Structure formats: structure tokens, C-alpha cells
Amino acid sequence: MADEHHHHLFHHHKEEEDPSLEIDYKKEEKHHKHMEELDELGAVAAGAFALHEKHKAEKDPEHAHKHIIEEEIATSIAVGAGGFAFHEHHEKKEIKKEEHHHKLF
């Protein structure tokens, strides 16, 4: 499975059909960097919302259960966004590696 190619946004099976098509490494690297930054922002926003809900749970004991559930959901979203940012970071590194390898050969 490790030998299988990854499906990136900007090159699909067309690359295999027509060898004259070139991969725009800079464009693909920029895309992954942009996605990584958006995911980081999403993780921060969800984490801030989780803290907000935790504070509301303490201040509003009548609806504390609702706020605790919303806090847990926001925390899960923050963790997921952080994981996806990590994934995009590694995709960006892989594109740089492919570009370097492509320039050598």
C-alpha cells in the first residue's frame, strides 16, 4: 500500500495518460499551505469556543449540561482540525520532496 500513489488535487489520472502534462508543484504546495493555515485557524476557533462554553457552564448552572456537551463537541472539532492541519503539513512536505526529485531527474 505504501507504493500506491497519493491522489493530489491538481494531478489526476490525466498525468498517466498524457506524459506531456506537467505538475505545477508551486501551485500544489501553495494549496496545501493554504489548507494547513485554514485548518490551524479552525482548530484555534473551535478551541476558543470550547473554552467559552466551559465558562458558560460554570456561570449558568441551570443549563450546564448543554454547555458541557457543546464544549466537548467543540473540543473534538478542534482536535480534528489540528489533525487535518498536520496532514496538510505533511502533504506540503511531500510535494516539496517530489519537486526536488523531479528537478534532479
Q: What is the mean pLDDT of residues 64-87?
A: 96
In a domain, 21, yes or no: no
Domains of the chain: total: 1
Would 78 be classed as within a structural domain?
A: yes
Mean pLDDT over the full length of the chain: 85
Closest CA to 71 of 92, 87, 57: 57
- What confidence tens digit (pLDDT) does each residue in 76-105 have? 999 999 999 999 999 999 988 888 777 766
Write the CB contacts of 7 (distance below 8 Å, at least 6 apart in sequence): none
Grid look-up 488535487 returns 9
Q: Is residue 12 part of a domain?
A: no
Say if CB 43 and CB 85 are below 8 A apart.
yes
Helix (H) or strand (E) holding 37: helix 25-59
The answer to whether position 8 is within a domain reads no
16 falls within a domain: no
Quick check: 17 pLDDT over 80? Answer: no
In this predicted structure, the answer to whether residue 51 has a pLDDT above a threshold of 80 is: yes
